[in-house]
Structure 1
Amino acid sequence: MGLVPPMPAVTALATYIHERNSSTCSMDISVELCQSVVLNSKWHDWYYADIMYAQPTVYFYCAGLAFFGIFYSLHLASKTGPYVRSIAGIPGYAKGLAITRSIALRQWRIGRDSGYLLPVGQIIIVSSMIIFFAAMTLGPKPYYWPIPGVFGYSPPIATRAGFMAIAILPFQVLFASKWNFITVVTGLSHEKLQVYHRWSGWIMFVLALIHTFPFIIVDIQMGMMEEMWRTDWYTVSGVMALIPQAGLVFLSYGPIRNRFYESFKFLHFLMAMFFIPILFLHCGFTLTSAYYFVGFVVAYTVALLIRWTRAVLYGTGHHAEMDLISDRMMVITIPTKLTWAPGQHFFIRFLTGDIHMFTSHPFSIASIPQADGANTMQILAKTHSGITANLANLISGQGKAMKVLLDGPYGGLGGEIGAYDHALLIGGGSGGTVVLSAFRHLVQLKGSNCKSISVVYSSRSNETSTWFLDEFGAQINPEAPKVSLDIHISTLISNLDDASSGSAEKLDLSIDSPTSSRSTLRPGRPDIPTAVQDTIQRVVGTLVVIVCGPNELTFDARNTVAREQMKIAAGEVACTECYLHTEAFGL
C-alpha cells in the first residue's frame, strides 16, 4: 500500500454548512435530469445528510429514553409520594401493567448449557433499533448515483449510513459508563444498559460497513481504486478505523467476553483509544459530524469527573478484612462512613501490589447502612479465577487486611421495596448478597407496608448455606414481618451415604426461629417455579420478587412470574401486582 496519504490541513476541513443549497449534480447534465434523480429532496442531497439522517438518529434515542423515563416516573409515583392512589386508580392501569410485564419478562433459551436469548422486552427494544436503522438506510433510493462523478461522488447509501453511525457515538458512551444520564432518567443501572451498548455497537459497525463498501465499489467502477489508496486520506483512515471497531464488537461476543473478561476489558479500552481519534480524523469536520464527537467527549468527561470526584473524596482510606467461609466463598468486611441502598454494588480496587491492583471489580453489598453512620460493608464473594482467587490465596487462618479503593454505589432495586405488601427473595451462591441486603432492609424498615418475607436460597456448600441461614436468622425480631426461610444445599444429597431422596427428607434440618417465622435447611435444589407460583397464589395485595443467582435460577423465576402475570390481569388471584427485579449474578 505504501505510505499513508497525508491528512488534509485543518484549514481545508470545511464544514460545508454554507453550501446546503448547492446542487448535488455537476454542470455537465441538465437541471431536468438532475431533478429526476435527486427529486429536489433533502433525503438525497449530500449537503443535508447530517440533518436528514444524523439528527433523526438522535431524536430516535431521545424519544426512547423519554418514553422509559415517563414509565419509570410512573412506577416510582405509584409506590411513594402523593400520587399513589391516583395512579393506582387509573382504569385499566393494573391490568395493563400486568399484561405488559407478562410479555416483556418472557425469555427463551437455546439450551441449558447453550445460552439464553434476551427477554422479550429487550428483544422488542433491540428490534425497534434494527428496524429504524434498516428503514433509514434502505428506504430512501437510489442507493448509488446512475452516473458516479456526475451526480456526486459519495454514494447516497454510504453517506446516510456514515452519518447515522456517527450519531450513535454519544449514546454508546452513555450506555457504557457506570455513571450516566440514562440511569438518572430511566432508573436502569449501568449493567442493565450493557445489552444496548453491545447492540448499538453492532448496529454502528454494520452501518460503518455499509458506509465503506459502496465507496470501494464506485472506486473500482471508476478505475480509481489504487489511486485512492495511494492519495486519499479518507479512504485509508476509514479502513484504519474499521479495524479496531471490528475488534470492539467481535470481542464483545458473550462467550469470548465471559471466558477472557480481564483481557477483554483491557483490549476493549485499548481499541477504543485507537478507534475514536482515527474516526474523528476520518470525519474531518464534514458538515456537523464534529458535534457528535463533542457530545461523546462531554458525556465521557462528565461521567469520569463524577466517578473520580466521588472516589477521591469518599473512596480512599478504607481497609478490607477477608475470611474464607468455605473453599468456594469468602466474606469481605469494610468499615466505612459511606452509605448505600439495598441491592447496590461498589467497584472495589484491591491494592494487592500486583497486576490486579490496576483493575476494579463490582461487588454487591450484603449489609445495610446504620443510623449512627458507623457502617460496615459485608460482601460475599465467590473465589473465581483472577482477583478473588488471588485474595483467597492471601488469606491466613485469622484473615487478611488490605487497603482498598471504593467507587460507588451503583445500581439498586428500582425503588422502595418496602412499599409492597409481600416480598419473595430468591438467591443462589454469591447472589445471596443481594437477597440478604433486601432482607435486612425489610426487617429493619420502620413503617413499611411489608407483611411477609419469603426467602429461597441455595448454595453448593454446606458452610455457605449455613452461614446465610445464621445471617438471616440473626435479623429476625418480634417486630419484623412474618418470615419464611427456605435454605437449600444443592450438593448435599450426593454427599450423603444414603443418596435416596427419601433418606434425605428424613434428615432433621429444621432450625429454631421465632414463632412468627419458619426456617428450614433442605438438601437438593429449590423448585423455583413452584415457589414463585405458590407465593403469587397465596398473597393478598402487592408482591415484589427479587432474584440474584445463576442463569438457570433467574430464567425459571422470570418465566414463572411472566406466566402468573396473566392470572393477575384476569383477577384470578388475590395478588394485585407482582414486580420482578433481577440482579446480574456475580455483582
Structure 2
Amino acid sequence: MSSPTRTGGGGTRTGSRAASETDTIISTATSAIASAITSATRNGGHNAASQTSSSAISSATSTSKGGNANNSGDNNAQTVLRNLQRWMLTNYPLFQWWLIGAMGGVLVLLYILSLARGYVRRRKSQSSGAGDNNPDLQDGEIVESGRDGVRSYRNVPAAVSTVWNKVLYRFTIPTSLDRTQRMNLGEAIFCVGYVVSCLMFGFINNEGGPNSFANRTGWLAYAQTPFIVGLAGKNNVISFVTGIGPEKLNVLHRTAGRSVLILSLAHTFAWVDLGLSAKHAIYTPATIWGCVALVSFFTTWLLSFRFIRKLCYEFFLISHISLICFFLAGCILHKKSAAYWIYPSFALWASDRVARLVRLVLLNRLWLSAVPSSSKSYTQATVQAYSDQTVKITMRRKMGWRAGQHCYLVVPGISRLPWEAHPFTLASAPAPRSRRAEGPDRSENELTFLVRARDGFTKRLLEHASHGEGGQDNVLAFVDGPYGMPPDLLEYSTVVLIGGGSGISYTLSQLSHIVQYHPIRASAVKRVCFVWVIRQHAHMLWVDDPLVDLLTVIPSGLDVQIKIFVSNTVSISSTLPVLTGESMEKSDDMKDISASSIKSSLSSTEISGITSPDNRLLRFPQVQVRNGRPDVPALIKEEVDISHGPVSVNVCGPNSLARTVRSTLTRNDITSWGGTLRGRPEVELHVEQFGW
C-alpha cells in the first residue's frame, strides 16, 4: 500500500484527511436523515426533519475541516453508525410488517371485487330471466358467448381476468423431488417475495459486517413469529378478510417458518463469528436460552418434512406444538427486551384453541353429557364400511356450513389420543329450512363424510365399522367446524365438477347446494357437468341415495349431466367396452350401452361380502356410466364451447387429476386473451386438496 502524500509545514496526511472528511460527511448525513425520519414520524414535522438533516450535514462538513477533525470525525462516525444500526434494528421489522400489510390490503381488495362481481352476475341472471342463453346484442353488435365472435372492448375486464388466472393459478412448479407436490405461480411469487423481503431487510446496509446484521436478523425473526402462528390457526382474521382458506395459507405458513429459520441461523453464526465472550458467553443464561430456541425450531423444521407428516401425522402434530412452545419460551428468555414480539404468538395460538373448544362444546352440546339420554343424539355418529378402502360417517348436528367446507372429527374410541382431531370434507350441503321436515329436529342438518381409509386413524375407523353388525356401528364422535373458504358457484353459468374417488365429497356437496338453492336464491347456473372417476362399479353405491334424491328434485331451467368413469373394469369387462384416450369421447358404442345390462352386473357385485342392491342411479337419463378414464381436455372443452356465460371448473382428487385439469386450462383453444375478447366465456378453476 503506498504511503500517504505529505505536504510541508505541519506534515498533515492529505489522503487520510480527505477520506476521513468524506466518511464523516456521509455517516453524519445518514444518521441525520435517519434521526429526521424518526423525529418526523414522532412529531409530524417535515420541516424539522429537513432542518435537522441540513444542519447535521453542515456540522459534519465544518467539523471535518477543523484542526483535530480526524479523531473527532472517527468517533462521530462510530457514534453515527451505532445510531443507524439501532434505528434499523427497531424500524426494519416494522417495515417488513408494513409490506405484509400492503400485500394483505391488495388481497382484501381483490376479495371485495370478487364478491361484488358475484353479486352482479347473480342479479343480472335473475333480472334477465332467461339468463345468457341468447346472443348478446349491444350497440348493434352481436357477440355469441362461447364462440368466436367479434372482438369487443366490453370484454376487456374478462380478458384481463382470464390472463391473470391463467398465468398465476394454472402454471405450477414442483416442490418435491418426485414432482408430485406442486404450487402455482401465484403462490410461488408470493412466497419468494416474502423470503426476499426478509433477507433484504436483514442484510442491506451492512457496512460494518456481521456486527451490522447480527442483532437485526434476530429482531426480524422475533417480529415474524406472530405471522407464523397466525397463519397456522384455523380461526384467523386473514382468511376472513381475504377469502383464502387456512388450508391454502399453509403454504405461506411453511415459507414464513423457513424464512425465520434462515434469519435465526444468520443471527447465530454472526455472533459466533464476532465471538461468544463477556455477556454473550456460551454459559450465560441468555445464550443458553437462545440455543434452546434455535435447536427447538430447527428440530421442528426437520420433523416437518412431508414424508414424516404422511408416515405419522399424530407424532408430527404433537411434536410440532411442543417444540414451538419451547421455541417461543426460549425467545422470551433469550432477549426479554424483544419479548413484546413473542407474546402475540401465544395470544394468537390460545385464541384459536379457545375458539375451537367453544365451538366443540356448543356444536356437540357437551353440557348435556351429565344426562346420557339427552346428550346421546348430539355426540353419536354412525360409521359404515362401504368397501375395503372407504368408510361413511353420518351424524346430525345443529349447525350450518357452506358447500365444500370441511370439519374436524374427534372420535375418542378410535383415536390413540382422546383429543386427536382429523379433517374431512363434508359430502353433504345443508338443506334449505323450507325443505326440512317439521318437528323439534328441524334446525338440525345431517353431516356426511366419505373417508378413504389409509393408515392410522382412518384404518382403525374402517376396521371398527367392519366388525359391527351389517358393516356399521355407532361411535362417540365430536365435530369441530366448519372451516375453509370454498367458492360460491351460483354466480357461474356453467359448473364443471370433477372428482376422483373419495374426492366426490367436495363435488357432491357443491352439486347438492346448486340443486337445492337454485330456485330459492339468485342463481346464474344453467348447466352442471358432474364427473366422477372410480375404480369399481360397486363404488357407485357410495352416493346412490344422495344422487337419486338430487336427481328427483332438479328444478326447471337447470341441466345436470352426471358422467361416471370406471377405471378398473375387471368385474364386468365383458359387459362394457374399455375405452381410453380420445376414443372415450368419439366412440358410438358408449351410447348404445343399455342401463339394464349395467344394472344386472351391479346387482351381482360383491361389496365386503354383502351383495349390493339394484343401483337406482342408472334409471335416470342424466346418468352415463363409461369404462376407462375420462378424456379430461375433451370434457372441459365441450362444456366451455357450449356455455353462454362464465364457467367454473372444480376438481378434487389425486394430484395427477388436478395437474391434468390445470394443464387443460392453459390451452389457448380453451382460455386465451383473444378468445375472451371475442366472447368466449371466462373460465375459473378451483382445486380442492388437502395437504399435511
Structure 1 residues 371-401: Cα deviation after superposition (integer angstroms, max 9, x where no partner) = 1333111111111111111111111233111
CA distance in 2, matches of 1:322, 1:392: 8
CA distance in 2, matches of 1:332, 1:538: 38
Matched residue type, 2:189: I
User: Does the CA contact (< 8 Å) of 1:329 and 1:464 recur in 2?
Assistant: no
Q: Which moved more, 1:248-257 or 1:238-247?
A: 248-257
Matched residue type, 1:468: V
Q: Residue in 2 aligned with 1:362?
A: 423
TM superposition shift of 1:294: 2.8
1:392-471 map, 5 Å: 392-395=462-465, 396-398=468-470, 399-414=472-487, 416-445=488-517, 446=519, 447-468=522-543, 471=546
Structure 1 residues 39-69: Cα deviation after superposition (integer angstroms, max 9, x where no partner) = 5585x423x2443221112112211211111
Q: Residue in 1 aligned with 2:639?
A: 535
Identity rate of aligned residues, in percent?
A: 24
Q: Residue in 2 aligned with 1:525?
A: 629
User: Does the CA contact (< 8 Å) of 1:38 and 1:45 recur in 2?
Assistant: no
Matched residue type, 2:446: T
Matched residue type, 2:550: Q
Matched residue type, 1:104: L
CA distance in 2, matches of 1:110, 1:585: 15
Kindly indicate whether residue 281 of structure 2 is the aligned counterpart of residue 228 of structure 1. yes
SS at match of 2:502: helix
Kindly indicate whether residue 311 of structure 2 is the aligned counterpart of residue 292 of structure 1. no
> Residues 113 and 137 of structure 1: is their aligned pair in 2 closer, same or farther, counting only changes over 3 Å?
closer
Q: Residue in 1 aligned with 2:606?
A: none
Q: Residue in 1 aligned with 2:446?
A: 376
User: Does the CA contact (< 8 Å) of 2:118 and 2:491 recur in 1?
Assistant: yes
> Residues 502 and 74 of structure 1: is their aligned pair in 2 closer, same or farther, counting only changes over 3 Å?
closer
Q: Residue in 2 aligned with 1:272?
A: 324
Structure 1 residues 9-41: Cα deviation after superposition (integer angstroms, max 9, x where no partner) = xxxxxxxxxxx99xxxxxxx9442244466558
User: Does the CA contact (< 8 Å) of 2:296 and 2:326 recur in 1?
Assistant: yes
> Residues 34 and 443 of structure 1: is their aligned pair in 2 closer, same or farther, counting only changes over 3 Å?
farther
Q: Residue in 1 aligned with 2:201?
A: 136
TM superposition shift of 1:122: 0.4
- Structure richer in helix, relative to its length: 2
Kindly indicate whether residue 664 of structure 2 is the aligned counterpart of residue 560 of structure 1. yes
Q: Residue in 2 aligned with 1:151?
A: none
> Residues 63 and 455 of structure 1: is their aligned pair in 2 closer, same or farther, counting only changes over 3 Å?
same
Whose Rg is larger? Answer: 2
Q: Residue in 2 aligned with 1:78?
A: 117
Q: Residue in 2 aligned with 1:63?
A: 102
Q: Residue in 1 aligned with 2:573?
A: 496
> Residues 518 and 243 of structure 1: is their aligned pair in 2 closer, same or farther, counting only changes over 3 Å?
same
TM superposition shift of 1:302: 2.4
Q: Residue in 1 aligned with 2:147?
A: none
TM superposition shift of 1:561: 2.2
> Residues 33 and 518 of structure 1: is their aligned pair in 2 closer, same or farther, counting only changes over 3 Å?
same
Q: Which moved more, 1:241-250 or 1:370-379?
A: 370-379
CA distance in 2, matches of 1:229, 1:112: 38
User: Does the CA contact (< 8 Å) of 2:225 and 2:342 recur in 1?
Assistant: yes
User: Does the CA contact (< 8 Å) of 1:144 and 1:157 recur in 2?
Assistant: yes
CA distance in 2, matches of 1:526, 1:276: 50
| TM value normalised by structure 2 | 0.72
1:98-497 map, 5 Å: 98-105=162-169, 106-109=171-174, 113-144=178-209, 155-219=211-275, 224=277, 228-230=281-283, 232-285=284-337, 289-316=338-365, 317-352=378-413, 355-370=416-431, 371=433, 372=436, 373-395=443-465, 396-398=468-470, 399-414=472-487, 416-445=488-517, 446=519, 447-468=522-543, 471-476=546-551, 477-479=553-555, 481-492=558-569, 496=573
Question: Which of 85, 89, 100 is the equivalent residue of 1:45?
Answer: 85
CA distance in 1, matches of 2:476, 2:570: 40
User: Does the CA contact (< 8 Å) of 1:538 and 1:574 recur in 2?
Assistant: no
Q: Residue in 2 aligned with 1:10?
A: none
TM superposition shift of 1:310: 1.4
TM superposition shift of 1:199: 0.6
CA distance in 2, matches of 1:238, 1:178: 29
CA distance in 1, matches of 2:674, 2:231: 33
> Residues 90 and 400 of structure 1: is their aligned pair in 2 closer, same or farther, counting only changes over 3 Å?
same
> Residues 267 and 538 of structure 1: is their aligned pair in 2 closer, same or farther, counting only changes over 3 Å?
same
User: Does the CA contact (< 8 Å) of 2:579 and 2:628 recur in 1?
Assistant: no
CA distance in 2, matches of 1:228, 1:467: 65
Q: Which moved more, 1:505-514 or 1:211-220?
A: 505-514
Kindly indicate whether residue 157 of structure 2 is the aligned counterpart of residue 93 of structure 1. yes
Matched residue type, 2:255: W
CA distance in 2, matches of 1:464, 1:67: 44
> Residues 581 and 569 of structure 1: is their aligned pair in 2 closer, same or farther, counting only changes over 3 Å?
farther
SS at match of 1:141: coil
TM superposition shift of 1:200: 0.4
Structure 1 residues 337-383: Cα deviation after superposition (integer angstroms, max 9, x where no partner) = 11111001110101216514330101111111121333111111111
User: Does the CA contact (< 8 Å) of 1:482 and 1:517 recur in 2?
Assistant: no
SS at match of 1:281: helix
SS at match of 2:387: coil
Structure 1 residues 374-430: Cα deviation after superposition (integer angstroms, max 9, x where no partner) = 31111111111111111111112331111111111101323x211111100011111
Count of residues paired in the alignment: 540
Unaligned runs of 5+ in 2: 1-37, 40-69, 125-152, 366-377, 437-442, 599-615
Matched residue type, 2:688: E
> Residues 566 and 521 of structure 1: is their aligned pair in 2 closer, same or farther, counting only changes over 3 Å?
closer
| TM value normalised by structure 1 | 0.84
> Residues 412 and 569 of structure 1: is their aligned pair in 2 closer, same or farther, counting only changes over 3 Å?
farther
Question: Which of 5, 25, 33 is the equivalent residue of 2:74?
Answer: 33
CA distance in 2, matches of 1:129, 1:110: 17
> Residues 345 and 83 of structure 1: is their aligned pair in 2 closer, same or farther, counting only changes over 3 Å?
closer
CA distance in 1, matches of 2:154, 2:287: 58
Matched residue type, 1:32: G
User: Does the CA contact (< 8 Å) of 2:501 and 2:653 recur in 1?
Assistant: yes
CA distance in 1, matches of 2:181, 2:204: 32
> Residues 455 and 140 of structure 1: is their aligned pair in 2 closer, same or farther, counting only changes over 3 Å?
same
1:568-583 map, 5 Å: 570-571=675-676, 574-583=679-688
CA distance in 2, matches of 1:330, 1:351: 17
Q: Which moved more, 1:66-75 or 1:552-561?
A: 552-561
User: Does the CA contact (< 8 Å) of 1:544 and 1:580 recur in 2?
Assistant: yes
Matched residue type, 2:689: A
